[in-house]
Amino acid sequence: MKRLHVMLLSLVLSASAVAHPKLTKSEPAADAVLDAAPKIISVTFNEPLEGAFSTITLKRADGAAVVTQPAKVDPATPLELVLQAPALTAGEYVAHYAVIGHDGHRREGDLKFTVK
């Protein structure tokens, strides 16, 4: 009986680990060196995102905030959060994303990129 409980618990824990949003793609890619500034910054996940609670903020490498409009999840592509990038000058940038999946789990991360 104890063995059955251990098996059931491990199944529940592994199923809940799979339920978290996982980053599958970003534009620009992490650590990209770009010849031209990106027009958008986007992060794509393996599950739909809650747009009202998902953000992307942009900073220069020195920590100075870059003013942007809020990032949005398009209902037609709910796996992707998109930020319209303002005109960026040459330099290093960090895009910080914080997203919440439909299951309520939160994921955060940083995408660093350089504009030549």
pLDDT digits (tens, 9 = 90+) for 42-66: 999 999 999 999 999 999 999 999 9
pLDDT digits (tens, 9 = 90+) for 76-112: 999 999 999 999 999 999 999 999 998 899 999 999 9
**Topology of the domain comprising 21-115:** Immunoglobulin-like (2.60.40)
Nearest to 110 by CA among 73, 51, 55: 55
Per DSSP, 53 falls in state G
pLDDT for residue 35: 98
pLDDT for residue 16: 45
Nearest to 107 by CA among 64, 30, 50, 29: 50
Kindly indicate the confidence band of residue 12, based on its pLDDT and cuts at 50, 70 and 90: very low
Look up residue 69 and give its two tokens. Answer: 């409009």
pTM above 0.85, yes or no: no
- Res 8 pLDDT > 60: no
Structural domain boundaries in the chain? 21-115
Question: What does R_g of the chain's alpha carbons equal in angstroms?
Answer: 18
Using DSSP, state whether 80 is helix, strand or coil: strand
